[in-house]
Amino acid sequence: MIRSVAILLMFLVCMFASRPSLAEDERAFRASGVAATEQQAVVEAYYQGLVRELARFAGAQAEGEVGQQFRRDFERDFTNFRRRYFTPDTDHRCIPKGDRVTCEVEGTIKVLALQTDFTKVMKNTERTLSNSLTFVLSAANAANNKAPVVVDKLTAVFLDAGNKVLSGSAINKAIAEHKVDFALAVSEMSFSPVQFDPAEQKAHGSLTVRFKLNDLKGGTQVASVPVTVSDTVNGPSLEVVRDDLAFKLAGKAAVEIGRQVNGALVSFQVNRQENQAAAERVATGGHMYLVRLEGVAQRDRDKIRVVRETISARIPDGAPQVDPSQSTPTRVTLTFSTSSKLNPDDLIDALYAAHSSINTFEATYAGNNEFLVHY
C-alpha cells in the first residue's frame, strides 16, 4: 500500500511540473479518466479536458446538443480529434487501480480551433431548429453610461452568429406584427471600485451585468443570469486607464452574455419543439412510446433496423426513429407515436418473434410507455 502511494505521488509530481508560457489562443489543462482499459481511460481523460474548456463559452450546452456533436466527432475519429484540438506535447501517464486504469492527461488545448468549431456547430444547431432568429436588444433600464456600449457589442455578437438584430423605428412595427423572436434587456450594470497598483502601473476591476432574455412570441422568460467579468489594463495612472478598463470590461461582458444566451437558446428551442410535439399528440389523441436497446451502438444498424421494422409492421402509424438526445454510446433509444390503443404484450410478442434465432434476446415492458430490449 505504501509503495502504491509513493508511486502515485511520484506520478503526480511528474504530471504537474511547471510548463512554459502559452500563446493567447492556447490553454494548459490537466484531466483524468478512469476506465477498464488504458486506451479507454486515455480517451476519456482527453474528452474531459475538452469539455471543461468547451464549457467556458458553450455554458450548459457543453453537456447538451452542442456537446453531443463534439462527442460524436470525438468517438468517430479520436486521432484526428486529438490532432485538431491538442498540441503535440500533450501527453498522458496511467496507473492501474484494481480492475480499472486511471490516466492523467496534461498538455495544451488549442482554444482558437475549439472556438472556431464551436461557432460552426452552434450555427448549424440553431439553423436546424429555427433557421434564423430576430432579436431586439436594449438597455433602457440600466442607469449606467456604459450600458449602450454593452448593447453595441452584443449586437456584433448576435450578428456574427447569423441572427438579425432590429433597431430604431423597426422595433415597434416588428413586435406588433409578431416578427420578433427574442428580446434581450440589460437591466443593471455595476462596476466594482477599480484597484490601481502604481508600482506595476496596472488597474484591475470587475463588472456585473444583469440581463433578461424573453421569448416574445411565447411570452416566457428564457434566461436571467447575472454575468460577472474582471480584467486588467496597464497605464501610468488611474485617471488615464479608467475608461479603457470600463470599455474592456463592457466588451468582455457582452461576449459572456452572448455565450450564456447561445446555450440558453438552443436548450429553449429543443424543449419547445418537444413541447409542441407533445401538444400535437394530445390534440390527435396520440401517445409516445420509448424502446431502449441496451448494449446497442449507433453502428449496429441491423439490430436497429429489425426493431424499427417490427414496430412499423405492428403499429402502422408508429413511424419509429432514433432519438439522439436519449441515446448513449451503449444504448439506442427509439421513439414512436400512435393514436391507436396499444397492448404492450402485442409488441413484446412481435419483438420476440423477430429475434427468435437469438437465445439471449429479452424484451420487457417497464411501464410508463417504455420498453427495454437486451441482446
| Domain assignment present for 124 | no
Taking only the tens place, the pLDDT of each residue in 264-321 is 776 676 666 555 554 554 454 567 888 999 888 888 999 999 999 999 999 988 889 9
| Domain end point (choices 254, 282, 310) | 282
76 and 138 inside one domain: no
Grid cell locating 63: 453537456
Q: Is there a single domain that holds both residue 234 and residue 202?
A: yes
What φ, ψ does residue 189 adopt, rounded to 5°? -130, 130
Whether residue 158 is found in the same domain as residue 101: no
Range of the domain at 238: 132-282
Tell me the pTM: 0.49
What is the number of domains present in the chain?
Answer: 3
Residues 71, 49: Cα–Cα separation, whole Å: 12
Q: What is the pLDDT of residue 22?
A: 46
Encode pLDDT of 107-135 as tens digits: 999 988 887 887 766 655 554 445 467 88
| Amino acid 318: pLDDT | 85
Rounded distance between C-alpha atoms, residue 213 and residue 106, angstroms: 38
Please indicate, yes or no, whether residues 352 and 293 belong to a single structural domain of this protein: yes
When pLDDT is averaged across residues 234-241 and rounded to a whole number, the result is 89
As to burial, measured by CB atoms within 10 angstroms (0-12 exposed, 13-18 middle, 19+ buried), residue 164 is middle
Give the range with max mean pLDDT: 253-257, 259-263, 302-306: 302-306
Write the CATH number for 329.
Answer: 3.30.1360
More confident residue, 233 or 222: 233
Residue 2, pLDDT above cutoff 70: no
Pick 275 or 83 by higher pLDDT. 83
Q: Are residues 96 and 186 in the same domain?
A: no
Q: Is residue 42 over pLDDT 70? A: yes
Look up the CATH number of the domain holding residue 262. 3.30.160.150
Pick the closest to residue 62 from 272, 267, 332 (CA basis).
267
Residue 125 lies inside a defined structural domain of this protein:
no
pLDDT recorded at residue 7: 36
Distance of alpha carbon 373 from its chain centroid, rounded?
29
What value does the mean pLDDT of the chain take? Answer: 80
Contacts of 235 (CB under 8 A, 6+ apart): 201, 202, 203, 241, 244
pLDDT at 277: 52
Domain identity same for 69 and 143: no
* The pLDDT of residue 24: 55
Domain boundary among 282, 307, 336: 282
Same domain, 241 and 145: yes
Residue 240 has pLDDT above 60, yes or no: yes
How many residues are given for the chain? 375
Domain finish residue from 91, 117, 143: 117
- Least confident stretch, 92-101, 140-149, 192-201, 346-355: 140-149
Q: What's the whole-number mean pLDDT along residues 312-331?
A: 85
